Amino acid sequence: MLLTLIRDDQGQDLIEYALLAGFVALATTAAVTSVGTSLNTVYGSVATKVAAVK
């Protein structure tokens, strides 16, 4: 019975797709966070320059 459970590969594809989706979500979150931080820096710089002109 134990050998049958070890050799059974049913559901393996679902686990692989779930892991892939998790990695994609993690990479997307990291990219969006990085872009958000960069945009915040750029907008802060622009705001400082605009305030200095006024």
Q: Which domain holds residue 41?
A: 2-53
Domains contained in the chain, number: 1
Please name which of 28, 26, 46 lies closest in space to residue 36, comparing C-alpha atoms. 28
Half-sphere exposure of residue 12: CA atoms within 13 angstroms, side-chain side: 6
Mean pLDDT, the chain, as a whole number?
A: 89
Mean pLDDT of 19-37: 97
Here the tokens at position 13 are 């594809």
32 φ, ψ to 5°?
Answer: -65, -40
What pLDDT score does 2 carry?
A: 77
The C-alpha atoms of residue 8 and residue 5 are separated, in whole angstroms, by 5
At position 37, the amino acid (one-letter code) is T
The total number of residues written for the chain in this structure: 54
